[in-house]
Amino acid sequence: MIPSEFRGKVLVDEPLSNWTSIGTGGKADFLVFPEDADELLKLVCTLENSGVRWFVMGLGSNVLFPDSGFRGVVIKTDNLNNMVIEKNLVKVEAGVRLEALLRKAAEKGLGGLEGLTGIPGSVGGAVRMNAGAYGYEIGPHIKDVLCVVEGELKSMEYRYNYRFSSVMDMVVVETVVEFEERERNKILEEMEDFRNRRKKTQPLDRKTFGSVFKNPEGKKAWELLLEAGLPGTRIGGAMFSRKHANFIENTGNARTEDVIELINLAKEKVYEKTGIKLEEEVVIVKEED
C-alpha cells in the first residue's frame, strides 16, 4: 500500500483524534507524512493506481473523520513547508501554516491579508476553500496554484467564490500569493488587532474546528444560530459554544457522531424558524466514498 521507497514517517492504526483540532475521529489504517512535493506526488499516484482510498489533510482544523476511522491512507502535508519571497509575491507550499505565511510576509513589509490572522489552517486548506474573515479573502491574492493532476504537478486556473474555489477537490501542492507593500509596523499592528478580536469573540481555548456553517447570502450564520437558541445546546460531548454561536466545542469526550447530530439539529431548528438551509463549512469525511 505504501511504496517501499517512501522516506517519510508512517504511523499505523493512528487515532485521527490526535490530529484534528476538534479532537474526534477513529483510527486511520495509515497516517503518512511525505518528505516533499515529489514524494507526495508519487504517493498519490501509487494509491490511485492501486485503488486504495486516500485523503489529504493539512492541519486538521476544518475536518471531521468518522468514529469508525478511515480505511486507507491519510496524507499529512506538514513537511511541505517551503516559502520563497520575491518582491511582493510569495511562493509557498501547502503545508505551511497560514499564520506563518502572514507573519513572514509582514516581516518583509507585505500585507493585504491581515484579516486572516488567527485562522488555524494550512495554506493548502486556505487556498482550496478560499478562506476568509472580516471582509478579507485569500482568493483575490492567488496568482498561481500547483496541483496534482493526472499523475503530474500542473499549474491550474484559480477561480473562487465565497468559501469555494476551482481547486477545492484537488491536491494543492504549492501556490503563489500576491501581497501589497505596506509599512511593516502598521501590518503587524493590524494583525495583532485581528488576533485580539478573535480572542474576545471565539472559543480559542477549546477544541473546535472553526466555523460550523457558511454564511447564507445576506445573513450571518451565528446570528441565525443564536436566534434559534443553539448556544449551550449539547449532544454527548459536543456543544454549541456560548461564546460564538457558530462554533461547536468538544467538552471533553465528544465523538464525531455527536458533532454531526448537533449539526443536523441546528440545521433543522434554523430551517424551522427562518426557512433558511444552512450549509456546512467543515469537511465531513464519510465512512466510505
Give me the CATH code for the 83-201 domain, please.
Answer: 3.30.465.10
d(C-alpha 270, C-alpha 74), whole Å: 34
Residue 1 pLDDT: 74
Residue 205: partners with Cβ closer than 8 Å, 6 or more residues away: none
Q: Where are the domains of the chain?
A: 9-76, 83-201, 221-284
Residue 285: partners with Cβ closer than 8 Å, 6 or more residues away: 55, 63, 64, 65, 66, 70
Residue 285 pLDDT: 97
For 103-199, where are the E strands, in sequence order? Answer: 110-111, 132-133, 136-137, 142-149, 152-156, 160-161, 164-165, 171-178, 180-181
157 is known as an active-site residue? no
Set 14, 93, 137, 281: catalytic member:
281
Each residue's pLDDT tens digit in the chain (289 positions)? 788 889 999 999 999 999 999 999 999 999 999 999 999 999 999 999 999 999 999 999 999 999 999 999 999 999 999 999 999 999 999 999 999 999 999 999 999 999 999 999 999 999 999 999 999 999 999 999 999 999 999 999 999 999 999 999 999 999 999 999 999 999 999 999 999 999 999 999 999 999 999 999 999 999 999 999 999 999 999 999 999 999 999 999 999 999 999 999 999 999 999 999 999 999 999 987 5
CATH level 3 topology of 9-76? 3.30.43
Set 211, 241, 249, 255: catalytic member:
211
Set 71, 163, 182, 184: catalytic member:
163
Please answer whether residues 21 and 207 qualify as being in contact, where contact means their C-beta atoms are separated by less than 8 angstroms. yes
Residue 289 pLDDT: 53
Q: Which three cell numbers stand for residue 265?
A: 439539529
Please provide the DSSP assignment of 3-37 as one string: -TT--SEEEEEEEGGGTSTT----EEEEEEE-SSH
CATH-assigned architecture of domain 221-284:
Alpha-Beta Complex (3.90)
163 is known as an active-site residue? yes
| 3-class secondary structure per residue, 129-157 | HCCEECCEECHHHEEEEEEEECCEEEEEC
Residue 288 pLDDT: 76
pTM of the predicted model as reported, rounded to 2 decimal places:
0.95
211 is known as an active-site residue? yes
